Amino acid sequence: MRRLGLQSTQNLASPRGAAAVEMAIVLPIFFMVVMGIVEFGRAMMVGQLVTNAARHGAREAAFDGATNASVTTAVKSFVSSSVGVSAADVTVDIVVDPGSGNPDPVDILSNALAKDICKVSVKVPYNKVAYVAGRYLAGKELKGTCIMRRE
């Protein structure tokens, strides 16, 4: 058997050891990629929900009788129920630009008149909605804005 250059199977290294080493190298990279996909998918989903909350707030602000407090409460409630973040972590900014010929309402919805433009911006810190704590998106905010004309 030795003359033909063949070795016995007892002298070969175990293929299980090579597979274990390959798995030890590839598995952490694979899990990092999967967790990255999950985190960015979560960020996109929450970003869309924050935009929906801004749209909901702008719709509320467009109607007569709306106040800054009522719109802020509605938006924070929407974000809290849909995203699962505390209302204290949600920032709502309301800006009212006067329509043509209207006096400046000074960003107060109760002073707004028809044709005034209501802009509602919503911000949520990403670290409050992340599944995995990481440094890549730490300190970033997910933002949504919607603008509607007052009726």
Name the nearest CA neighbour of 67 among 10, 105, 121, 16.
105
pLDDT in tens, 64-117: 899 999 999 999 999 999 998 999 999 999 999 999 999 999 999 999 999 999
Task: Give 36's pLDDT tier (boundaries 50, 70, 90).
Answer: confident
Domain ranges for the chain: 15-149
Residue of 16 and 34 predicted with greater confidence? 34
Alpha helices in 6-137 (DSSP H): 15-61, 68-83
pLDDT in tens, 45-62: 999 999 999 999 999 999
For residue 124 the two structure tokens come to 């949520």
- Rounded to two decimals, the pTM is 0.79
